[in-house]
Amino acid sequence: MNKKDDPSQVLTKRATIRYTEPEYKLVKAKAESSGKGFSDYCREVTIKGYIQAVRNGRELNEIREFKSILIQYKSNFSRISNLIQNSDPGLHNEILKLKNSLQLLIEKIRL
């Protein structure tokens, strides 16, 4: 969507921040390394408190591979848990906890 199509997305307010020369260079370098423009970087840091860095293709592929490995581990732990469910309920519960923690990690990975 074009910002002109949505009036609430048009940047109309301005704020001034003063930096020392070393601070300015540091913020400028961080903005460049994050893949964002200086204004976008400053706006995102002040609103969210952190920066979601722009990922390159290689990093995305590594993250996807890591996510698929986690999914395989979760599936394997589910199978193991089902096999020992009747013989050792305590171990079954521990494996379920591990499987659930893997599921939470999988859900946190955003692409």
The answer to whether residue 5 scores a pLDDT higher than 80 is no
Q: Is residue 8 assigned to a domain?
A: no
* pTM beyond 0.95, yes or no: no
Question: Could you tell me the residue range of the domain that residue 62 belongs to?
Answer: 57-108
Residues 49 and 24 in one domain: yes
Q: How many domains does the chain have?
A: 2
Percent of residues, the chain, with pLDDT higher than 70: 91
Closest residue by Cα to residue 68 from 38, 34, 102, 40: 102
Q: Is residue 29 assigned to a domain?
A: yes
* Rounded Cα–Cα distance for residues 44 and 27 (Å): 13
* Rounded Cα–Cα distance for residues 11 and 108 (Å): 31
Give residue 23's pLDDT: 94
Q: Give, in degrees to the nearest 5, the angle at Cα 77 between 95 and 87.
A: 55
31-47: pLDDT as tens digits: 888 878 899 889 889 88
- φ, ψ of residue 43 to 5 degrees: the values are -65, -45
Give residue 50's pLDDT: 78
